[in-house]
Amino acid sequence: MSDSTGVLRAALVGCGGMGKGLAQRLESLSEFELVAGCDVADVAVQDFTKMFPKTSGYVDYARMLAEAKPDVVVIATNNTSHASLTIQAAEAGVHGVYCEKPMTTCMADGQAMVDACRKHGTALVVNHQRRLLPVFVTLRKLIDSGAIGKIELIRAGCAGDILSDGTHLVDTVRHLAGDAKWVFGQIYRQRPNPGEPHSQGYPVSGGWRYGHPVEDGAMAIIEFENGMRAELFTGRMQAKGRRYQDYEIFGTEGRIYRAGDAADPPLMMQTAQNPNWHPSPIESGDEDAIATSMRQFARMIWHGEDHPLSGDSALKDLEICMAIYESARLREKIELPLNQPRFPLEMLIEQGEM
Ligand SMILES: NC(=O)c1ccc[n+]([C@@H]2O[C@H](COP(=O)([O-])OP(=O)(O)OC[C@H]3O[C@@H](n4cnc5c(N)ncnc54)[C@H](O)[C@@H]3O)[C@@H](O)[C@H]2O)c1
């Protein structure tokens, strides 16, 4: 598609809460034409075609690929199906896959997604949109400019489990700190009630979410190639009173604090020159980071432009997430690259340890 800039026919799979949000973006962006929606649940398809009357609805994904002939597929299903749906789309010859985070639930599947997309010339993006928010663009510039000296530590936290919300935290920390060298982590999971159905939505219920097991709390230390460290606290390991996606950045000459993003707080800074905490301006920009990312996705397909949320980048996020679980499983510091193709939390459960 590199010689064309035609409007991209888009099909969505997974017509739940996030899927509808993504479909609204696709409808509003001139780069795309939303043509179809697919879900295993009939009622979700009916809802979707009512909400987006110009689309055709499907319960059979292969049929949607064959009949609707989309240029791009947008995936917003349970995390356990991201890999197979991506690979099927690449094999069907679509030009691009825009997949929800987390990429998938184990390294073998993540690598298979990247390999299939590379083999078939399919652009792959994973929706870790948060690093494109103006606040994270500003943070990166402040760090690069040396505004608080050399960065020694990023301490960050969020609600939820590692794969649902922690993956955003890992991606934004990687955006600020670069590639990771080693990971040390610990998790705990309350014994699920055997009578409780495996939860696929919020809140975390019975230790399951989005089709796979999740933990209740996790903490991790990550060291990066540049010597920077990160300390992450997720779910019930986040201190009381802390907000969703909360960041403290410690430099040799100052500190930056972002108190989560729920109430859109200011970016607070303290420097050697100005030791009192004071607000630092946030660059203006599009607050709809998903729309920003989707526009870049279209340019990736049309012109081969790099995308900051590429499949390769998502694989690095997944590797850190999996290394946290693997560190908890082995009770060891994990040097990257991670040599564990499976989902270590599943292995802990199989071993009767969690
Ligand atoms: N980027 C973000 O900020 C963000 C925010 C929320 C959710 N998400 C991600 O979006 C995805 C969907 O989350 P949600 O909250 O909308 O979940 P949801 O449960 O509301 O919707 C998922 C839908 O997918 C359907 N589905 C499941 N497996 C399928 C399959 N194999 N084929 C077709 N349809 C299938 C389900 O029937 C359901 O309708 C998850 O991967 C989640 O992690 C991302």
Output the domain CATH number for residue 59: 3.40.50.720
19 inside domain: yes
Kindly state whether residue 354 falls inside one of the protein's structural domains: no
Residues 6+ apart with CB under 8 A from 336: 180, 181, 182, 183, 319, 320, 323
Distance from the alpha carbon of residue 292 to the mean position of ligand 1, in angstroms: 21
Q: Is 112 in the pocket of ligand 1 (CB under 6 A)?
A: no
- Residue 151 resides in a domain: yes
For the Cβ of 209 lying below 6 angstroms from any atom of ligand 1, the answer is no
193 & 338 share domain: yes
Atom number of ligand 1 nearest to Cα 102: 43
Give me ligand 1 centre to Cα 14, in Å.
6
Nearest CA owner, ligand 1 atom 17 = 16
Ligand 1 atom nearest to 38, measured from its CA? 33
Contacts (Cβ under 8 Å, ≥6 apart) of 244: 158, 159, 165, 260, 261, 262
- Residue 209: DSSP 8-state: E
> What is the pLDDT, as a whole number, of residue 47?
98
Report the pLDDT averaged over residues 113-140. Answer: 97
Q: What pLDDT shows up at residue 316?
A: 98
Tell whether ligand 1 has an atom less than 6 A from the beta carbon of residue 1: no
Number of domains in the chain: 2
Q: Are residues 120 and 170 in the same domain?
A: no
pLDDT at 195: 58
Give the pLDDT confidence score for residue 192 in this predicted structure. 60
Summarize pLDDT for 160-194 with one digit per residue, the tens: 999 999 999 999 999 999 999 999 999 999 866 55
**Alpha carbons 96 and 115: distance in angstroms, whole number:** 14
CATH no. for residue 250? 3.30.360.10
User: Do 239 and 293 have their domain in common?
Assistant: no
> 185 with 253, same domain?
yes
In the predicted model, what is the mean pLDDT of residues 307-331? 98
Q: Is 17 in the pocket of ligand 1 (CB under 6 A)?
A: yes
Residue nearest to atom 31 of ligand 1 (CA): 81
Predicted pLDDT of residue 208: 83
Average pLDDT over residues 183-206: 66
Percent of the chain with pLDDT over 70: 94
pLDDT of residue 194: 57
User: Distance between CA 229 and CA 46 in Å, rounded?
Assistant: 48
**What does the pLDDT read at residue 205?**
53
Cβ–ligand 1 contact at 62 (below 6 Å): no
Digit-coded pLDDT (tens) for 6-27: 999 999 999 999 999 999 999 9
Confidence at residue 200, expressed as pLDDT on a 0 to 100 scale: 43
Q: Is 100 in the pocket of ligand 1 (CB under 6 A)?
A: yes
For the CA of 82, the closest atom of ligand 1 is 41
The answer, yes or no, to whether any atom of ligand 1 lies below 6 A from the CB of 21, is no
Is the model's pLDDT at 196 over the cut of 70?
no
**Residues 82, 135: one domain?**
no
> Per DSSP, what are the bridge partners of residue 121?
none
**Contact between residue 16 and residue 210 where contact means Cβ atoms under 8 Å apart:** no
Structure tokens at 159: 């609600």
Residues 299 and 339 occupy one common structural domain: no
Residues 190 and 338 in one domain: yes
Examine residue 227 and state whether it is found in any structural domain, yes or no. yes
201 lines ligand 1 (CB under 6 A): yes
pLDDT for the residue numbered 53: 98
Q: Which of 40-54, 95-109, 230-244, 308-322 has the lowest mean pLDDT?
A: 230-244
Q: Using CA positions, which residue lies closest to atom 9 of ligand 1?
A: 100
Q: Which residue has the tokens 């089709």?
A: 211
Of 140, 161, 102, the residue nearest 309 (C-alpha): 102
Residue 125 has pLDDT above 50, yes or no: yes
Structural domain boundaries enclosing 32: 8-129+289-310
Q: Pick from 12, 13, 18 the residue to mutate for probing ligand 1's pocket: most ligand atoms within 8 Å of its CB.
A: 18
Give one word for 19, left, alpha or beta, with left for phi > 0 and alpha for psi -120 to 50: alpha
Ligand 1 atom closest to the Cα of residue 19 is: 16
**Predicted model pTM:** 0.95
Mutation to probe ligand 1, out of 25, 39, 171 (largest number of atoms < 8 A from CB):
39
Are residues 109 and 38 part of one domain? yes
Average pLDDT value for residue range 258-265:
84
In a domain, 209, yes or no: yes
In the prediction, which pLDDT does 191 show?
A: 63
Mean pLDDT of 200-222: 78
Query: At residue 84, does pLDDT exceed 70?
Result: yes
Residue partners of 269: CB distance under 8 A and separation at least 6: 142, 147, 148, 254, 255, 256, 257, 277, 278, 279, 280
Which H or E run includes 101? none
Q: Are residues 144 and 122 in the same domain?
A: no
Query: In the 8-state DSSP scheme, what is residue 164?
Result: I
Query: Distance between CA 167 and CA 100 in Å, rounded?
Result: 11
Q: Has residue 202 got a pLDDT over 50?
A: no
Determine the pLDDT at residue 80. 95
In a domain, residue 1? The reply is no
Instruction: Answer yes or no: do 164 and 118 share one domain.
Output: no
Rounded average pLDDT over 270-276: 94
How many angstroms is it from 76 CA to the middle of ligand 1?
Answer: 4
Is it the case that residue 212 has pLDDT exceeding 70?
yes
Does the structure show a pLDDT above 50 at 223? yes
Report the Cα 325 to chain-centroid distance in Å: 17
In a domain, 2, yes or no: no
* Cβ neighbours, 10 Å, residue 179: 12
So what's the pLDDT on residue 276?
96
The answer to whether the CB of 336 is under 6 A from ligand 1 is no
Task: Check whether residue 201 and residue 321 sit in a common domain.
Answer: yes
- Are 249 and 146 part of one and the same domain? yes
Report the separation in Å between the CA atom of 39 and the middle of ligand 1, taken as the mean of its atom positions: 10
The full length of the chain comes to 354
